[in-house]
């Protein structure tokens, strides 16, 4: 099952569980202290593709949902009952412990089916030419690109995935690179 919306989860283990269950992109909040940068990425994802929040059925999970709902109206919510998220040893609770079939079931009624998958036409050569990879200033340029396109900071490996996740077109990419080059020329 392919999920069009971006799924917001709490951490990396949740992302792993989601990706074992369905084909989807995720944004990780890294706990209940959601940064402004994370909220900004969630807003951007909501505008482009829509967002489904799938957090743990506990107080921090509810807190994360409330914060996102306050800042990003219109997000969808998927829920798993506590009994489906308890670790096998009984000493943990979270989406990362849920069975794939339970995750799919939770998402079935809230996701939008995607027939046409966005594939970025931005190539590895484009990234190298734009000094986003294999250049001494690559890290700084990727950080600035993340700001300009509102996709957050990335490393080289994540960049292509993030461009696809936020459906960045060649035109948007080109305009951001042109702006960065102009800013560097004005320094």
Q: What is the pLDDT of residues 31-69, one digit of tens each?
A: 888 999 999 999 999 999 999 999 998 999 989 998 998
Residue 113 has pLDDT above 80, yes or no: no
Q: What percent of the chain has pLDDT over 70?
A: 95
Q: How big is the CA angle at 47 (ends 161 and 163), to the nearest 5 degrees?
A: 15
Check if the beta carbon of residue 167 is closer than 8 Å to that of residue 149: no
pLDDT band at 114 (very low <50, low <70, confident <90, very high): low
Per-residue confidence (pLDDT) for residue 124, from 0 to 100 = 86
In whole numbers, what is the pLDDT of the chain averaged over residues? Answer: 89
For residue 98, is pLDDT > 80? Answer: yes
**Whether the predicted pLDDT of 160 surpasses 90:** no
Residue 138 has a pLDDT of 95
Domains of the chain: 2-108 (3.40.1360.10), 124-186 (no CATH)
What is the rounded CA–CA span in Å between residue 77 and residue 79?
7
Q: Which of 37, 60, 64 is nearest to 143 (CA)?
A: 37
Residue 31 to residues 12, 34, 77, 150, 165: CA-CA distances in angstroms? 10, 7, 17, 21, 22
SS3 for 116-130 is CCCCCCCCHHHHHHC
- Taking the C-alpha atoms of residue 44 and residue 67, their distance in angstroms, rounded to an integer, is 16
Residues 6+ positions from 110 with CB-CB distance below 8 Å = 52, 76, 77, 78
Residue-level pLDDT at 150 = 75
Write the DSSP symbol of residue 158. Answer: H
pLDDT score of 154 = 83
86, 92, 94, 98: CA torsion to nearest 10: -40
Q: What is the pTM of this model?
A: 0.73
Question: Rg for the chain (alpha carbons), in Å?
Answer: 18
Between 162 and 23, the higher pLDDT residue: 23
Are the CB atoms for 143 and 117 separated by under 8 Å?
Answer: no
Cα-to-chain-centroid distance, residue 165: 7
- What value does the mean pLDDT take over residues 137-153? 87
Whether the predicted pLDDT of 116 surpasses 60? no
């Amino acid at each position: 099952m392919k999920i069009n919306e971006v799924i917001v989860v709490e951490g990396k283990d949740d992302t792993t569980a989601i990706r074992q269950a369905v084909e989807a992109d995720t944004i990780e909040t890294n706990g209940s202290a959601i940064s402004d940068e994370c909220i900004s990425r969630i807003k951007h994802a909501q505008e482009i593709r829509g967002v489904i929040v799938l957090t743990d059925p506990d107080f921090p999970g509810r807190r994360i949902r409330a914060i996102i709902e306050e800042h990003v109206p219109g997000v969808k919510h998927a829920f798993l009952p506590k009994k489906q998220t308890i670790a096998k040893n009984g000493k943990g609770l979270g989406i990362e412990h849920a069975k794939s079939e339970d995750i799919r079931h939770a998402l079935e009624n809230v996701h939008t089916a995607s027939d046409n998958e966005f594939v970025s036409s931005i190539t590895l050569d484009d990234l190298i030419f734009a000094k986003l990879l294999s250049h001494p200033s690559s890290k700084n340029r990727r950080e600035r690109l993340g700001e300009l396109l509102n996709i957050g900071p990335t490393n080289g490996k994540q960049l292509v995935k993030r461009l696809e996740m936020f459906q960045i077109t060649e035109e948007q990419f080109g305009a951001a690179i042109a702006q960065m080059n102009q800013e560097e020329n004005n320094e």
